[in-house]
Amino acid sequence: MARTLITGGLVVTASDEFHAEVLLDGERIAALAAPGSQDWTADRVIDAAGKYVIPGGVDAHTHMELPFGGTFASDTFETGTRAAAWGGTTTIVDFAVQPKGEALRVGLDAWHAKADGNCAIDYAFHMIMSDVNESTLREMPGLVEQGVTSFKLFMAYPGVFYSDDGQILRAMQQAGDTGGLIMTHAENGIAIDVLVEQALARGDTDPRHHGEVRRALLEAEATHRAIQLARVAEAPLYVVHVSAEEAVAELTAARDQGLPVFGETCPQYLFLSADNLAEPGFEGAKYVCSTPLRPKEHQAALWRGLRTDDLQVVSTDHCPFCFTGQKELGRGDFSKIPNGLPGVENRMDLLHQAVLDGHISRRRWIEIACAAPARMFGLHPRKGTIAPGADADVVIYDPHAVQTLSAETHHMNVDYSAYEGRTVTGQVETVLSRGEVVIDRRTYVGRAGHGRFVPRATFQYPG
Ligand SMILES: NC(=O)NCCC(=O)O
Ligand SMILES: [Zn+2]
Ligand SMILES: [Zn+2]
């Protein structure tokens, strides 16, 4: 087994920062030691002087090849995991989709088939339940045993992925009994569909109306409802892609009562806003996702939530659709624009910029992007930290490199960047996944098929 020694860098984890040499033995981190204190030999030495040595990112929310609105998210597992590696992410948790009317197993098998042999980095799955019934409820414990330990339920998208309150409650009860974690897309989809219809009837068809009809109050209401249902079921709850200040307030109030309620936000809600949805012509379609981008004023509450631990995780909700041919499906009717933004490659860099901008500390960067998602989703202690015994998923990060984000240079399979022209300081230099170099000083040297399915443990967040 090859041994790799990383010297000269500043190791940054969620809990500590210290200069150390890091010894990797095969697929695992073997040891850390004070610089110069050991006589370690290795097959390869990586000089990280002046750089950070950080855990590989854990992106707990991606949608490779998601079917949506008559098309498919444009990144495959091959292109999407390669782009993730470029951005310093070494594990993704993607959402397998239950086809409506079929078994969960059918969806999970399909997702395994898409990912198997194609991934550059490790991957795991959540399960989207589009049809909660006696039979799918019975399947849940079997999935948990196979390492698919979280289930997403949609309070939005009636007729597609939507579950009603009774279905959500039953899934929460079942999850609570088996150690599964329920994740909710919290928006009142029934009310939103009424507002969509009214907007279109008025002739309000542009992308910006997508943001206007998906009212912040309807995100807050659904968040509140999901929390109460979880209380009744005595189950923990994780709310995905939180964007509204009022929804953060619901989570904060619940957590202040000591409830096991958790929340995630995404870079697009921290760095973009409803102003992007209102860009001239049809440009706003590039920014259509749900929950929607909010007016800028909401961002302060999201940053505060990340600092106070009322929000625990930043994931990307990476769900790319090309502008040409895909987002264009909604010209003249915003409700037909496929929902989702690209971002799996940009998350670690944008959050590093947030460190420089004073929103979060360096350790908090690693906590929300690596450690917390690993703990929340049963990947800890293998993923999300730099410690003996952990997987050798390590990023050498140059905190001084300046880069301009652009579709010209990114590696995601999508024809635009949501952050086009934005300059950030900090860039991934070298990436190792289970001890294998995947990015070598900004050259891709990985391979499709290196990445393995990681069965996850049940929910184990310490609170
Ligand atoms: N978020 C989004 O707009 N698309 C992906 C599906 C989802 O997460 O709801
Ligand atoms: Zn969602
Ligand atoms: Zn999503």
How far is residue 202's CA from residue 347's CA, in Å, rounded to a whole number? 38
Does residue 289 have its Cβ closer than 6 Å to ligand 1? yes
pLDDT at site 461? 56
| CA-proximal residue: ligand 1, atom 1 (nearest) | 290
Q: How far apart are CA 385 and CA 370, in angstroms?
A: 7
DSSP 217: H
Task: Indicate whether residue 128 lines ligand 1 (CB < 6 A).
Answer: no
pLDDT recorded at residue 34: 98
Structure tokens at 56: 């590989």
Q: What is the pLDDT of residues 272-300, one digit of tens each?
A: 999 999 999 999 999 999 999 999 999 99
Q: Which residue CA neighbors atom 4 of ligand 1 most closely?
A: 340
C-alpha 228/C-alpha 237 separation (Å) is 10
Question: How far is ligand 3, taken at its centre, from the CA of residue 291, in Å?
Answer: 9
**What's the start-to-end Cα distance of the chain, in Å?**
37
Say if ligand 1 is within 6 A of residue 184 CB.
no
Q: What is the pLDDT of residues 333-372, one digit of tens each?
A: 999 999 999 999 999 999 999 999 999 999 999 999 999 9
Angle, nearest 10°, between helix axes 134-145 and 165-178?
A: 30
User: pTM of this prediction?
Assistant: 0.98
**Helix H or strand E segment including 180:** none
Q: Tell me which residue has its CA closest to atom 9 in ligand 1.
A: 290
The Å distance, Cα 306 to ligand 2 centre, comes to 19
**What pLDDT is recorded for position 462?**
56
290 Cα to the center of ligand 1, angstroms: 5
No. of helices (H) and no. of strands (E), the chain: 14, 21
CA count, 13 A, side-chain hemisphere, 75: 29
Distances (CA, A) of 320 to 50, 138, 315: 34, 33, 14
> Residue 113 CB: number of other CB atoms within 10 A?
10
Exposure b/e, 194-210, CB count within 10 A at least 16 = b: ebbeebbeeebebbbbb
Quick check: CB of 132 below 6 Å from ligand 1? no
Please indicate whether residue 319, judged by its CB atom, sits closer than 6 Å to ligand 1: yes
- CA of residue 343 to ligand 1 center, whole Å: 12
Distance CA 162, CA 158 (A): 5
Which of 290, 316, 318 best tests ligand 1's pocket when mutated (most atoms within 8 Å of CB)?
290
- Residues of the chain where predicted confidence (pLDDT) is lower than 70: 460-463
Q: In CATH, what number does 56-376 get?
A: 3.20.20.140
State whether the beta carbon of 384 lies less than 6 angstroms from ligand 1. no
> Quick check: CB of 268 below 6 Å from ligand 1?
no
- Minimum CA distance residue for ligand 1 atom 2: 340
Which tokens go with 362? 């360096």
Question: Is the ipTM here above 0.90?
Answer: yes
290 C-beta closer than 6 A to ligand 1: yes
Residue 61 CA, closest ligand 1 atom number: 8
Ligand 3 centroid from CA 175, angstroms? 20
**β strands within 56-186, DSSP E:** 57-62, 67-68, 71-72, 89-97, 122-128, 150-154, 181-185
Ligand 1 contact via 152 beta carbon (within 6 Å): no
pLDDT at 177: 85
Position 138 scores a pLDDT of 97
Give me the helix-helix angle, 165-178 and 216-233, nearest 10°.
50
For the Cβ of 340 lying below 6 angstroms from any atom of ligand 1, the answer is yes
Q: What is the pLDDT of residue 459?
A: 83
- List the chain domain ranges: 56-376
Contacts of 209 (CB under 8 A, 6+ apart): 199, 334
Q: Tell me, using a 6 A CB cutoff, whether residue 185 lines ligand 1.
A: yes
